[in-house]
């Protein structure tokens, strides 16, 4: 039965179309990443370099939008109302942390919260939407939409497999997520922007370049230093916030109940 | 007083996409500078120049600094050496690369921010609602744009309340962490509770509505604008291919 009694049920062709879109988006993302890593195009600022930048930008953005279109109609209303809160939290907390010069981002805390509360599809959709809306204020984040989707997807996956049942498991899951997100996002930073957009991270990339690393290798190593720590902190904070929620509220999410995301903590 | 332009939001976005992709593909410093000048002129004409300059500078200054560090200071090119000391090597081609990449990013940033300043947010939401995009997208965009100032205000109020009860006044990293915790926890918990309350009302009204429905706000559009959008999208896709095609043969 439809989760909402006022709405018609979906036809099998609609479900099939969404699955095809999700598969196409995932394949496009993986394919683009593999092509970039295997071929390692040189000359990012001349010849076909700008073509590589445009193709990387377009492919990562298209993959993220395909995943969003595939996932969005499937989300219940309780998750849809949660997503704007998460998007606003990403932006407000990200800006607040940025304004006090602490070397953390914390700009994916809302995405991880949705992933923990509503599952990986909702987390992925929140990641993409967050990037699309943030791009209205900072257009350079646009090609990182696929990386943001991966953060939400991995947060939901970690919650589903018990990362919130013990407080120390959440930051460990964050470290793993940070490694994967850093590796996936590195080609965008390298081939679209020629490095990174922050002075601190730029200095780390420059240090690796001075040791003879290629640009992609240097950006990947920088991402592997920055992202795991950031995601470990974000996952821990999101987990602590969820522990602080009233049971009535956290228990209202089907994902939390179905996969016993909070373990014993959710039943006490 | 900033002027408003009477164009469909998608027309502005399509034109920006065409300009950004073609300027990126052309990869000529004077094309990038011409696009940036044109953006500044449009911003000046519509009264957004100051805001565009501030917003662009906040993104582009760190970006240029980062590119100078990565390509300008530790260049791996053997020729055109300007200065070298220890691991640092400043070369002509390294500085050129940093400048080209910086200008490429500048075109994206300035054109993108100009779109944001020119497009009325309510018109954009209405245009998305009237498009074939899933109805949830319009709701999510509208709700986020409404919630942003609302939650920022709520965060300030929470901060004032905590300051009144003299909580979170410590110094250093622990003081900063305590301030973040005292602001973030009530903000997140209250916002999640609000979202939970809203979902019950939206569910009871059959959200998201399927099929066509009446909208009070209309978005001005015309056949000419629709044609401009199609042409701009064609240029956005085929323009870079036409510009880059000669390089394929020379590789």
Do both B148 and B172 map to the same domain?
yes
The share of chain B scoring above pLDDT 70, in percent, equals 95
Distance CA A111, CA A64 (A): 15
Q: Considering the domain boundaries, does residue B140 fall inside one? A: yes
> For A73-94, how does the pLDDT look when each residue is reduced to its tens digit (9 = 90+)?
888 888 889 999 998 888 777 6
Do both B61 and B43 map to the same domain?
yes
Return the pLDDT at B110.
96
Do both B62 and B110 map to the same domain?
yes
Do both B111 and B45 map to the same domain?
yes
Do both B199 and B223 map to the same domain?
no
* Count of structural domains within chain B: 2
Distance CA A172, CA A185 (A): 20
Q: Considering the domain boundaries, does residue B183 fall inside one? A: yes
Do both B151 and B106 map to the same domain?
no
Looking at A119-246, list the stretches that DSSP marks H as alpha helix, in order from N- to C-terminal side: 120-134, 145-160, 169-187, 199-210, 215-244
* Count of structural domains within chain A: 1
Q: Considering the domain boundaries, does residue B209 fall inside one? A: no
What would the mean pLDDT of A65-70 be, rounded to a whole number? 87
Q: Considering the domain boundaries, does residue B153 fall inside one? A: yes
Q: Residue B91: what are its φ and ψ, rounded to 5°?
A: -125, 160
Distance CA A147, CA A231 (A): 12
Do both B119 and B226 map to the same domain?
yes
H or E segment at B214?
none
- Measured between beta carbons, the chain A residues lying within 8 angstroms of B141 are 133
A241 vs B189: CB contact, 8 Å cut-off? yes
- Measured between beta carbons, the chain A residues lying within 8 angstroms of B151 are 85, 88-89, 92
Q: Considering the domain boundaries, does residue A1 fall inside one? A: no
Length of chain A: 268
The answer on pLDDT for A101 being more than 60 is no
B55 vs A137: CB contact, 8 Å cut-off? yes
Comparing CB atoms, the residue among B62, B70, B189 nearest residue A206 is B70
Cα of B227 to nearest chain A Cα, Å: 23
CB contacts < 8 A, A to B, total 211
Q: Residue B157: what are its φ and ψ, rounded to 5°?
A: -65, -45
- In this structure, are residues A75 and B136 in contact, taking their beta carbons and an 8 Å threshold? yes
Do both B115 and B146 map to the same domain?
no
- In this structure, are residues B114 and B39 in contact, taking their beta carbons and an 8 Å threshold? yes
Q: Considering the domain boundaries, does residue A6 fall inside one? A: no
What residues have CB less than 8 Å from B207, skipping those under 6 apart? A77, A80, B139
Grouping H, G, I as helix, E, B as strand and the rest as coil, residue B146 is: helix
> For A117-135, how does the pLDDT look when each residue is reduced to its tens digit (9 = 90+)?
999 999 999 998 888 888 8
B112 vs A142: CB contact, 8 Å cut-off? yes
| Domain coverage including residue B34 | 9-125+218-245
A194 vs B101: CB contact, 8 Å cut-off? yes
* Residue-wise burial string across B127-142, b where 16 or more C-beta atoms lie within 10 A, e elsewhere: bbbbeebbbbbbbbbb
Q: Considering the domain boundaries, does residue A232 fall inside one? A: yes
Indicate the pLDDT class of residue A248, thresholds 50, 70 and 90.
confident
Distance CA A236, CA A170 (A): 5
Do both B43 and B112 map to the same domain?
yes
Do both B180 and B92 map to the same domain?
no
B59 vs A140: CB contact, 8 Å cut-off? yes
Q: Considering the domain boundaries, does residue A4 fall inside one? A: no
What is the ipTM score, two decimals?
Answer: 0.85
Do both B23 and B84 map to the same domain?
yes
Q: Looking at chain B, which residue has its C-alpha nearest residue A222?
A: B70
Do both B110 and B143 map to the same domain?
no
| Domain coverage including residue A74 | 12-267
Q: Considering the domain boundaries, does residue B130 fall inside one? A: no
> For B83-99, how does the pLDDT look when each residue is reduced to its tens digit (9 = 90+)?
888 778 888 888 988 99
Q: Considering the domain boundaries, does residue A42 fall inside one? A: yes
How far, in Å, are A105, A131, A236, B23, B177 from residue A232 at the CA level? 12, 20, 6, 39, 16
Residue-averaged pLDDT of chain B: 87
The answer on pLDDT for A1 being more than 50 is no
Q: Considering the domain boundaries, does residue B251 fall inside one? A: no
What would the mean pLDDT of A102-109 be, rounded to a whole number? 72
The answer on pLDDT for A22 being more than 90 is no
Return the pLDDT at A71.
87
A96 vs B183: CB contact, 8 Å cut-off? yes
Return the pLDDT at A163.
94
Q: Considering the domain boundaries, does residue A5 fall inside one? A: no
A199 vs B55: CB contact, 8 Å cut-off? no
Distance CA B47, CA B59 (A): 21
Q: Which residues of chain B have pLDDT under 70?
A: 1, 209-212, 249-251
CA angle A146, A148, A150 (to 5 degrees): 70
B119, B144, B154, B168, best to mutate vs chain A, most A CBs in 10 Å: B144
Q: Considering the domain boundaries, does residue B3 fall inside one? A: no
Return the pLDDT at B16.
95
């Amino acid at each position: 039965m439809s989760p909402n009694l006022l709405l018609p049920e979906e036809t099998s062709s609609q479900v099939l179309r969404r699955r095809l879109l999700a598969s196409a988006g995932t394949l496009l993302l993986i394919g683009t990443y593999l092509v970039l890593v295997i071929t390692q195009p040189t000359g990012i600022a001349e010849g076909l370099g700008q073509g590589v930048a445009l193709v990387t930008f377009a492919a990562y953005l298209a993959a993220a939008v395909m995943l969003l279109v595939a996932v969005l109609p499937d989300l219940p209303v309780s998750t849809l109302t949660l997503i704007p809160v998460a998007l606003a939290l990403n932006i407000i907390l990200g800006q607040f942390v940025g304004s006090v010069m602490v070397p953390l981002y914390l700009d994916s805390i809302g995405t991880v919260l949705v992933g923990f509360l509503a599952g990986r599809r909702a987390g992925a959709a929140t990641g993409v939407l967050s990037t699309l809306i943030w791009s209205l204020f900072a257009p350079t984040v646009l090609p990182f939409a696929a990386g943001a989707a991966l953060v939400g997807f991995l947060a939901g996956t970690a919650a589903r497999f018990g990362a919130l049942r013990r407080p120390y498991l959440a930051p460990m899951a964050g470290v793993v997520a940070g490694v994967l997100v850093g590796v996936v996002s590195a080609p965008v930073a390298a081939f679209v922007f020629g490095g990174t957009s922050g002075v601190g991270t730029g200095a780390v990339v420059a240090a690796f370049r001075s040791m003879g690393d290629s640009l992609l290798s240097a950006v990947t190593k920088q991402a592997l230093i920055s992202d795991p720590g950031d995601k470990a902190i974000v996952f821990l904070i999101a987990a602590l916030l969820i522990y602080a929620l009233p049971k009535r509220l956290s228990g209202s999410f089907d994902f939390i109940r179905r996969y016993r995301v909070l373990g014993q903590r959710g039943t006490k | 007083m900033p002027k408003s332009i009477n164009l469909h939001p998608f027309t502005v976005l399509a034109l920006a996409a065409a300009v950004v992709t073609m300027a990126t593909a052309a990869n000529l410093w004077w094309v990038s500078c011409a696009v940036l000048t044109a953006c500044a002129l449009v911003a000046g004409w519509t009264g957004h120049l100051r805001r565009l300059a501030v917003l662009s500078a906040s993104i582009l200054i760190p970006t240029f600094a980062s590119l100078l560090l990565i390509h300008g200071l530790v260049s791996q090119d053997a020729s055109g050496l300007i200065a070298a000391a220890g691991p640092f090597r400043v070369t002509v081609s390294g500085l050129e690369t940093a400048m080209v990449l910086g200008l490429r990013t500048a075109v994206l940033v300035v054109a993108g921010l100009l779109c944001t300043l020119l497009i009325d947010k309510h018109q954009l939401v209405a245009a998305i609602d009237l498009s074939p995009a899933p109805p949830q997208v319009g709701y999510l965009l509208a709700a986020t744009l409404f919630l942003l100032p609302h939650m920022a205000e709520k965060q300030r109020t929470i901060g004032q309340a905590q300051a009144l009860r003299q909580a979170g006044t410590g110094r250093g990293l622990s003081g900063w962490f305590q301030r973040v915790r005292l602001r973030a926890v009530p903000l997140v918990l209250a916002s999640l509770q609000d979202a939970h309350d809203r979902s019950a009302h939206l569910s009871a009204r059959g959200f998201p509505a399927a099929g066509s429905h009446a909208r009070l706000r209309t978005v001005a559009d015309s056949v000419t604008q629709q044609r401009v959008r199609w042409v701009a999208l064609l240029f956005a896709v085929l323009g870079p291919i036409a510009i880059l095609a000669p390089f394929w043969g020379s590789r």
